Amino acid sequence: MRPARLAVALSALLSASVLPFVSAVPAGAEPAAPDLATTVRAKIVEKAAPRAGARVTTADTEVNVMREGSTWVFGSAIAKAPHVEGAYPEGWLFVANRKGGAWQVAFEGESAFPALTSAAPAAVVSGPEKKIFASHGRSTVDKSPSRDAKPLAGGDFRTGMRLPWAVGQTWRLTGGPHGASRQSIDVAGGDGRVLAARGGTFYVMCASQRGWVRVAHDRGYSTDYYHLQGNRTDNGVTVAEGAFLGNIGVDVSCGGSATGPHNHFSLRQNAVYIGIASHSLGKWQVYNGAAEYQGYALHGSAQANVGGSLYNYGPLGFTEGVVDTNGGGVLNKRSGPGTNYGVVGTVPDGNTVAISCSANGTSHTGRFNYTTAMWNRLSDGSWISDAFTWTGTGNPVNGWC
């Protein structure tokens, strides 16, 4: 079916008892399965988090068909939020295949999702999408004993992501970590153009084709961008880091509320929202406050509180670190891995360093009482303590020397 007919297909899908592209079941055949919309809605109700102690109902759900073939469908499944402050929609990409008169439906985070997307025809799930989805493990929320869970960050908070606006621009942190998992921050300012934090595949989540977009990245990560206006709508396209996604706005097509134009930016891994705290974004790390919407961000020893400014330094490479002296100033570089070696130079707090390898040496304690004997050899041959280098992990980022 051509893209121009998707809106018509969606309307038929949600109102008819049988999908329009499924042929009638001949006499004597097994009974027809429930229509796809009914099946998907039931899964949404099952998976969505309760609200005010009550389960989501089918009236709160939305099914958005993005692509379809004779027996295959790919789209998004949404649990819309009430239009009140502090309410947020939930959503999953899904793939479905009709076989033997029944629909097999897999949501992101379920073990069947990578396998089913891999089996789908390229017209329904493209090659680049299949590669991305193969990197997404099953959510640890699913406790099925027969399936191995892939841990979330697993102690590695490197993302390879920039902040979701132009490198070199300064925006404001208008809301600290919030949401059930403290997965989101609010940002606004600059030229208002919201850009992809990292390359991946792009989707519009709401059936309205407005407001809420998602980019699925490698390493199991996805990023969500909500309240956008003028967003792009080319579902499934591969986007590069820094690609235009939309503009800050107040759209609430899938629920919630917005009092001023901003980007509600959220972090997911393996199909669930995860705490955004400690993850690297534009060489900053955001940290939780005592309550939702509070908190702060750090770049080295520089701190930006809610309402403060975030300069986008671009993504931190997976073999790079940011110097954090835990107070400002400069960090001594040594000729070997320890303070028993001579000083051969200094590097300012907040600078980015390229790490060649790591080795053990003298032990030191940095921010948040992080104590380690690991030292990092830089690309110029000098050494600095990992206690004063933010890399996103306490392990070597480029192997042992």
Mean pLDDT to the nearest integer, 214-228:
96
Q: Which helix (H) or strand (E) holds 185?
A: strand 184-189
Let me know: does 81 contact 88? Beta carbons within 8 Å.
yes
pLDDT at 154: 61
Cα–Cα distance measured from residue 173 to residue 186, given in angstroms and rounded to the nearest whole number: 6
pLDDT tens digits for range 317-352: 999 999 999 999 999 999 999 999 999 999 999 999
Cα–Cα distance measured from residue 231 to residue 220, given in angstroms and rounded to the nearest whole number: 24
Higher pLDDT among residues 152 and 354, named by residue: 354
pLDDT tens digits for range 110-135: 999 999 999 999 999 999 999 999 98
CA distances from 209 to 61, 214, 230, 257 (A): 15, 12, 10, 18
Mean pLDDT to the nearest integer, 370-382:
97
- The vertex-138 CA angle with 137 and 140, nearest 5°, equals 115
| pLDDT-above-70 percentage for the chain | 87
pLDDT at 222: 97
pLDDT tens digits for range 207-217: 999 999 999 99
Q: In this structure, how many other beta carbons lie within 10 angstroms of the beta carbon of residue 299?
A: 19
Let me know: does 280 contact 158? Beta carbons within 8 Å.
yes
Q: Which strands form 72-79's sheet, in the order they lie side by side? A: 61-68, 72-79, 90-99, 102-107
pLDDT at 19: 32
Q: Inform me whether the pLDDT recorded for 233 exceeds 90.
A: yes
Question: Which residue type occupies 231?
Answer: N
pLDDT band for position 52 (50/70/90)? Answer: confident
Let me know: does 107 contact 43? Beta carbons within 8 Å.
yes
Q: Inform me whether the pLDDT recorded for 195 exceeds 70.
A: yes
Cα–Cα distance measured from residue 30 to residue 12, given in angstroms and rounded to the nearest whole number: 23
pLDDT at 136: 84
Which region among 73-77, 140-144, 214-218 has the lowest average model confidence (pLDDT)?
140-144
pLDDT at 53: 79
pLDDT mean across residues, the chain:
88
Mean pLDDT to the nearest integer, 61-76:
95
pLDDT at 54: 85
Q: Inform me whether the pLDDT recorded for 14 exceeds 70.
A: no
pLDDT at 22: 29
C-beta pairs of 33-38 under 8 Å, 24+ apart in sequence: 33/98, 33/101, 33/102, 33/103, 34/103, 36/63, 36/73, 36/96, 36/98, 36/103, 36/105, 37/13, 37/63
pLDDT tens digits for range 27-50: 333 233 468 999 999 999 999 988
